[in-house]
Structure 1
């Protein structure tokens, strides 16, 4: 049985019923959850901001803090947007809508879902919870994953930012959009061919069927923002650590070799974890590198980076992320380099 033949709703119901038995909480019972813990930590950070600021007085610590906060500030609005849209899909959009909106054949649904990313002005942080919600609502996983990869790279905001960042090279935006679309469709079709059901483990959401729409919407938002947000923090911390540890002189020495420079900027895109709305300006500043290597940077970044891998792990499971991220990285490097050689 392929990954496209699975009733994902049934799988989630089985997973929920197979959980450990225990006393049921009453509806009015109070409890301390992750949201309350986060609120308490924020209050403590405000109260003790004076003593804590002394701990980050060194240059490296300040750089780490700046990058960490920058990644969170860039990503948080789009994560919230994605979570809200995911909750809307889960609560207000009927399951029959997706059967009408996408072609019935999975091979045709993949490019259709990829092109749908044009209409979503967001970054990769928002696309992860949306893709998870699409799978829950019956969309074939191959199409949902193609949307996950395409939406952050081909939407109008990202392409416009690329044109502005490379005023003398408008073909960079064309190459970025075309290469990203090809990678998204190729990865969707690859999942259809090789993907397995057990590689995707969607986290169990609270049962929304017995709640009013307003309460179900809030429950879905609360669950996804805490689940995806925690992994976003881990990814931001990893990106900040890499920014502190990798010397700038290393980049200068790598730019001279065409093959090495492509691989270097591909790896750098993964490590820096820059939001897709801002990465074009970073790529433009790397003027010592060729246009092709900078194109690869722009194709890889919205599809594979540290925070995205962390969020995919939280949303779909480690078995999925360990396979999907390396395959996407390889496809993005090869396709980006090919388009760069032809168009740039």
Structure 2
């Protein structure tokens, strides 16, 4: 019989605690089912059922689903790895005293400093989630860490350069996107100072890292963040792919002619598509039937609230946090984008 086990096979047996323990299984009977065994089983099943799998993949809707699913993962994974590694560096090698010197002591002043730090740290929303979690662990006020979480994916040089390339006839889109995104990030940080509660954030437990050598603690932190953030990234990519297949494209064209509904439609579309912030500007530019204000809402909302990001936030900070933080961010991002767009265009 094969069963899951989390104990070390080489560890000594635990002392007997009662009569129920007298019938201990003989040595060698326990087996640990790991990722290698699961992968082997999947490969065998694919080999045996290759005809059935081939017939399923030939379906156009499933091909679209697989294309979107894989593209979301391929876009997000490098930045997730970057964020996980940087998060582990912050958690293991950066002393807590550094953040006390780098950030203002007053939380309200720390928020804009942390938000502006996103300019010098290229990355996307997938990498900013584990980094924000590591900042909170190192003593940074959650309001400042959350401001960085929202600002970094939208105002860093890579994203702004991509926006300028995607909108060559509208250079003001770069300023509008950067300014609106920074306003939302700072406003959400200050809003957390006012209304947020510490019990809403449930970070994965990491007390054991303090007693480990630095190299071992670094790799342990990487593995833990990959499990928490990577697993929810896969779930978010699956949800985004499903939405892409289910939602009829004709509905978007019908909404483009209605100014208010078009802003809400593209904001919701940004949530559903879950495109990485380095690539979303080109998607927004292709939606030429929509107004510039609606496309600005798409660019402001996407890096802050999308399916994969909400899933990762739930895995990193807890469901109670994600259920409150994501809707509030969405509403504020839509409002700020609509105001900025109305003023410019």
User: Under a length normalisation based on structure 2, what TM-score does the superposition of the two structures give?
Assistant: 0.88
Q: By how many angstroms is 1:42 displaced?
A: 4.5
Structure 2 matches for 1:92-131, cutoff 5 A?
Answer: 92-131=93-132
Structure possessing the higher radius of gyration over alpha carbons: 2
Give the Cα–Cα distance (whole angstroms) in 2 for the partners of residues 41 and 277 of structure 1.
34
String of CA shifts for 1:180-217, please: whole Å, max 9, x gaps.
00000000000000001111111113611221111000
Give the Cα–Cα distance (whole angstroms) in 2 for the partners of residues 329 and 308 of structure 1.
12
Is the contact between residue 206 and residue 219 of structure 1 (CA under 8 Å) also seen in structure 2?
no
Q: Which residue of 2 aligns with 1:262?
A: 263
Structure 2 matches for 1:206-225, cutoff 5 A?
Answer: 207-225=208-226
TM-aligned CA distance change 1:318 to 1:46, over 3 Å: same
Q: Which moved more, 1:202-211 or 1:68-77?
A: 202-211
Matched, 1:179 2:180: yes
Q: Which residue of 2 aligns with 1:338?
A: 339
Q: Which moved more, 1:206-215 or 1:91-100?
A: 206-215
Q: By how many angstroms is 1:301 displaced?
A: 0.2
Q: Which residue of 2 aligns with 1:143?
A: 144
Q: Which residue of 2 aligns with 1:77?
A: 78
Q: Which residue of 1 aligns with 2:329?
A: 328
TM-aligned CA distance change 1:248 to 1:141, over 3 Å: same
Q: Which residue of 2 aligns with 1:230?
A: 231
Give the Cα–Cα distance (whole angstroms) in 1 for the partners of residues 202 and 43 of structure 2.
37
User: Under a length normalisation based on structure 1, what TM-score does the superposition of the two structures give?
Assistant: 0.89
Give the Cα–Cα distance (whole angstroms) in 1 for the partners of residues 10 and 116 of structure 2.
45
String of CA shifts for 1:70-89, please: whole Å, max 9, x gaps.
00000001001000000000
- SS of equivalent residue, structure 2 residue 210: coil
- SS of equivalent residue, structure 1 residue 209: helix
Give the Cα–Cα distance (whole angstroms) in 2 for the partners of residues 41 and 27 of structure 1.
19
Is the contact between residue 110 and residue 143 of structure 1 (CA under 8 Å) also seen in structure 2?
yes
Give the Cα–Cα distance (whole angstroms) in 2 for the partners of residues 123 and 43 of structure 1.
33
TM-aligned CA distance change 1:305 to 1:32, over 3 Å: farther
Give the Cα–Cα distance (whole angstroms) in 2 for the partners of residues 40 and 170 of structure 1.
53
TM-aligned CA distance change 1:96 to 1:289, over 3 Å: same
Q: Which moved more, 1:186-195 or 1:117-126?
A: 117-126
Give the Cα–Cα distance (whole angstroms) in 2 for the partners of residues 119 and 244 of structure 1.
37
- SS of equivalent residue, structure 1 residue 169: coil
TM-aligned CA distance change 1:323 to 1:212, over 3 Å: same
Number of paired residues? 318
String of CA shifts for 1:36-80, please: whole Å, max 9, x gaps.
42x544455555264434322100000000000000000001001
Give the Cα–Cα distance (whole angstroms) in 2 for the partners of residues 71 and 239 of structure 1.
8
- SS of equivalent residue, structure 1 residue 207: helix
Q: By how many angstroms is 1:26 displaced?
A: 6.1
Give the Cα–Cα distance (whole angstroms) in 1 for the partners of residues 9 and 183 of structure 2.
49
TM-aligned CA distance change 1:91 to 1:239, over 3 Å: same
Is the contact between residue 206 and residue 220 of structure 1 (CA under 8 Å) also seen in structure 2?
no
Q: Which residue of 2 aligns with 1:12?
A: none
Give the Cα–Cα distance (whole angstroms) in 2 for the partners of residues 214 and 124 of structure 1.
26
TM-aligned CA distance change 1:57 to 1:208, over 3 Å: same
Matched, 1:278 2:260: no
Give the Cα–Cα distance (whole angstroms) in 1 for the partners of residues 122 and 276 of structure 2.
12
Q: Which residue of 1 aligns with 2:289?
A: 288
Give the Cα–Cα distance (whole angstroms) in 2 for the partners of residues 322 and 26 of structure 1.
38
Structure 2 matches for 1:19-38, cutoff 5 A?
Answer: 32=32, 36-37=34-35
Q: Which residue of 1 aligns with 2:18?
A: none
TM-aligned CA distance change 1:162 to 1:106, over 3 Å: same
Q: Which residue of 1 aligns with 2:20?
A: none
Task: Give me the CA root mean square deviation.
Answer: 1.8
Q: Which residue of 1 aligns with 2:299?
A: 298
